[in-house]
């Protein structure tokens, strides 16, 4: 099954450098260790001439490529978070965090 996990996030105000250091050097590797996560890439918002109604709600995006059943990947992620194998940083603004799993249309 071809699916992606999209994680939209922000740093706590004034903590972008520490947030990006944690995400790039710790968190990304922890998530890629979850069974069913093939790889992950991070992005930051780029100014665009496309417009669209002002500043977007999120500054950062992580895209993870998944294999297998997305529900199983989500369960494995939750299990690793519960045991502390995946740690969250206090620099992550949890009030704006948005995580969704998307699958390619026409797949089961």
In-domain check, residue 86: yes
Three-state SS for the chain is CCEEEEEEECECCCCHHHHHHHHHHHHHHHHHCCCCEEEEEEEECCCCCCCCCCCCCCCEEEEEEECCCHHHHHHHHHHHHHHCCCCCCCCECHHHCEEEEEECCCCC
**CATH number of the domain enclosing 15:** 3.30.70.100
pLDDT band at residue 98 under the 50/70/90 scheme: very high
| 34-59 pLDDT tens trace | 999 999 999 998 877 666 667 788 99
User: What's phi and psi for 18, nearest 5 deg?
Assistant: -65, -40
User: What's phi and psi for 77, nearest 5 deg?
Assistant: -60, -50
Q: Report pLDDT for 105.
A: 85
Q: Report pLDDT for 53.
A: 66
Q: How many domains does the chain have?
A: 1
**Mean pLDDT, the chain, whole residue set:** 91
In-domain check, residue 30: yes
Q: Report pLDDT for 71.
A: 92
pLDDT band at residue 104 under the 50/70/90 scheme: confident
For tokens 């299990």, name the residue. 79
The two three-digit tokens of residue 42, written as one number: 């991070």
In-domain check, residue 108: no
Give the domain range for residue 95. 3-47+56-103
Q: Is residue 108 pLDDT above 70, yes or no?
A: no
Q: Report pLDDT for 1.
A: 66
């Amino acid at each position: 099954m071809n699916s992606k996990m999209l994680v939209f996030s922000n740093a706590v105000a004034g903590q972008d450098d520490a947030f990006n250091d944690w995400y790039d050097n710790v968190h990304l590797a922890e998530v890629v260790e979850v069974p069913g996560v093939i790889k992950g890439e991070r992005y930051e918002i780029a100014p665009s001439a496309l417009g669209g109604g002002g500043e977007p709600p999120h500054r950062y995006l992580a895209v993870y490529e998944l294999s297998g059943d997305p529900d199983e990947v989500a369960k494995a992620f939750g299990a690793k978070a519960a045991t502390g194998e995946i740690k969250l940083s206090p620099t992550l603004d949890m009030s704006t965090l948005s995580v969704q799993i998307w699958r390619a249309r026409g797949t089961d």
